Amino acid sequence: MADPTTRLTMPARRRRRSRRRAMIGRTITLLALLPLAARLPAHARIIGGLLGDPRVPAARKAVLAWALGYAVAPVDVVPDRIPVIGMLDDLVVAALAVDRFLAGVPDDVLDERLAAVGLPRAAFDEDVLRVRRLVPRPIRRIVHRIPAALRLGGRLTREAGLGARVRDIFDMEGSPA
């Protein structure tokens, strides 16, 4: 008979089995992204073209700027020195930002960019869905509200006349700028 201290308890076995299933699920999800990797240069050209297009709302462009700032900032929710998980938060932020950016792009503008790159709309939509599945739904709901919050902040700043006050601070002699 085996030593009872070396045997796993039932809850420990369940946890181990649950972790194994989660790992298998994550692996399958990441494997589903492989077709996207081949089209990544085309997606970068599409995003770049949309950023330069004046028909794309500025609030949507600001979401991408915020995500870029988060990626290069030295402070993260999960420090980058933690293997795998440290980079995962940057990936999730980038995926969410691109998703919110694309949600605000008019369809005709997006179709123009897709045609210019030669990527069929069906393949593009499939790639967007694959990336969306990486991010948990509650997090997507929260991020969905960011562009409206940016618009509200911009409107309140204009109504309060803060834009001129901030410019005055930076125009003063000895200012931080």
Q: Residues 29-68: pLDDT tens digits?
A: 666 667 777 888 898 899 999 999 999 988 889 888 888 8
Q: Residue 6: how many CB atoms within 10 A of its CB?
A: 6
Mean pLDDT score, 112-134? 88
Asked which of 2-16, 46-60, 93-107, 133-147 is least confident by mean pLDDT, the reply is: 2-16
Report the candidate in 58, 62, 55 with the shortest Cα–Cα distance to residue 108.
Answer: 55
Pair of tokens at residue 115? 């045609």
User: Which residue is listed with tokens 């298998």?
Assistant: 24
Q: Residue 148: how many CB atoms within 10 A of its CB?
A: 10
Higher pLDDT, 171 or 110: 110
Looking at residue 176, its pLDDT comes to 54
Higher pLDDT, 172 or 1: 172
Cα dist from 24 to 20, 53, 59, 136, whole Å: 6, 41, 38, 17
Looking at residue 34, its pLDDT comes to 72
| pTM greater than the 0.85 cutoff | no
Residue 137 has pLDDT above 70, yes or no: yes
Residue 111 has pLDDT above 90, yes or no: yes
| Helix runs in 10-161, H state only | 10-32, 34-38, 40-51, 58-72, 85-103, 107-117, 121-132, 137-144, 146-160
Asked if residues 112 and 71 have their Cβ atoms less than 8 Å apart, the reply is no
Residue 112 has pLDDT above 60, yes or no: yes
Residue 172 phi/psi, 5-degree rounding, is -70, 155
Residue 120 has pLDDT above 80, yes or no: yes
Higher pLDDT, 32 or 6: 32
Where in the chain are the domains? Answer: 7-38, 40-144
Q: What percentage of residues in the chain have a pLDDT greater than 70?
A: 80
